[in-house]
């Protein structure tokens, strides 16, 4: 059972909980388990088959972009953190990568 | 309304000037629920761009862990625009993810990067894709004003543009 830290903006999906438990051997399975208990959250994390550009997911403090993405292995007592990127700027990059 | 002390206000402006012509970015953390920005944390703009900013993902994790450990939250999230007004862009609005934060924008355009020049310093709430400007009140020190006030207007008020 992994612990998943939920950022403020996604807490409406977890009834306000800052952290929830989830099971799965990979990040993809963890996200499916989150979706089963907190419907709608998956769409906020994924864009098709990939993690959204401006969403960061960490397993045991490692950004999964560097550890195999959604296939990253999740240990039994792993600590998972979800954080929306803090980003912006004058350039208009469109809404495609946005977390909402 | 954003209430911010003079030292923190000056530190944000100095950071924006230092990083011009790239966008500067950072956070001012404060005790959770206090609405008081007390701990100035300049961040590296990993994009190193004049038109975009992004916290490095490793820095971001460390920042949020630190705030969690201290029972703090990001009271202010600031960044600079270097050639346009101090108003959230569509990108800023799309990517804003802290509905409780004050989003501060500073513009270093038109010579404002020079120390002593007049500079735009504005604050916004960004919630559900809508940016709403709010008043900025600069105080000399927070001890002059009650904590977490919402409506009282002490006489120490100064206009941010001064």
Domain ranges within chain B, ordered by starting residue:
2-144
| Per CATH, domain B2-144 is 3.40.140.10 | yes
Greatest C-alpha distance within chain B:
43
| pLDDT one-digit tens code per residue, A33-45 | 999 999 999 999 9
> What are the extents of the domains in chain A?
2-84
Are A84 and B81 an interchain contact pair (Cβ–Cβ within 8 Å)?
no
Instruction: Give ipTM to 2 decimals.
Output: 0.91
Which class is domain A2-84?
Answer: alpha beta
A13 CB within 8 Å of a chain B CB: no
| pLDDT one-digit tens code per residue, B125-141 | 999 999 999 999 999 99
Residues 81-140 in B contacting A (C-alpha not used; CB under 8 Å): 81-84, 88-92, 94-100, 129
Distance from CA of B2 to the nearest CA of A (A): 20
| pLDDT one-digit tens code per residue, B75-110 | 999 999 999 999 999 999 999 999 999 999 999 999
Residues 1-40 in B contacting A (C-alpha not used; CB under 8 Å): 23, 25, 27
Q: Which residues of chain A lie closer than 8 angstroms to B19, CB-CB?
A: none
Beta strands B2-5; B136-139: pairing state:
parallel
A84 CB within 8 Å of a chain B CB: yes
Are A88 and B91 an interchain contact pair (Cβ–Cβ within 8 Å)?
yes
Q: Which residues of chain B lie closer than 8 angstroms to A93, CB-CB?
A: 52, 91
| C-alpha separations of B83 from A94, B22, B49, B55, B110 in Å | 19, 10, 12, 20, 7
Tell me if B27 sits within 8 A of B76, measured CB to CB: yes
Full-model pTM? 0.90
């Amino acid at each position: 059972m992994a612990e998943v830290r939920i950022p403020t903006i996604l807490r409406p999906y977890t009834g306000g909980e800052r952290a929830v438990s989830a099971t799965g051997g990979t990040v993809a399975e963890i996200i499916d388990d989150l979706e089963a208990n907190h419907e709608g959250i998956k769409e906020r994390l994924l864009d098709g088959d990939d993690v959204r550009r401006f969403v960061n997911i960490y397993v045991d403090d490692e950004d999964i972009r560097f550890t195999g993405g959604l296939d990253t292995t999740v240990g039994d007592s792993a600590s998972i953190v979800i954080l929306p990127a803090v980003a912006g700027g004058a350039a208009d990059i469109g809404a495609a990568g946005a977390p909402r | 309304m954003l209430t911010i002390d003079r030292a923190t206000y000056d530190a944000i402006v100095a950071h924006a000037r230092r990083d011009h012509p790239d966008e500067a970015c950072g956070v001012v953390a404060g005790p959770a629920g206090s609405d008081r920005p007390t701990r100035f944390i300049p961040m590296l703009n990993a994009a190193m761009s004049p038109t975009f900013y992004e916290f490095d993902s490793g820095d971001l994790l460390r920042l949020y862990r630190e705030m969690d450990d201290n029972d703090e939250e990001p009271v202010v999230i600031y960044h600079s625009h270097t050639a346009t007004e101090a108003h959230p862009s569509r990108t800023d609005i799309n990517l804003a993810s802290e509905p409780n934060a004050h989003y501060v924008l500073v513009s270093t355009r038109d010579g404002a990067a020079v120390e002593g020049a007049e500079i735009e310093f504005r604050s916004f709430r960004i919630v559900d894709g809508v940016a709403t400007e709010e008043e900025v009140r600069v105080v000399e020190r927070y001890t002059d004003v009650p904590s977490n006030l919402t409506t009282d207007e002490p006489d120490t008020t100064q206009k941010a543009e001064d």
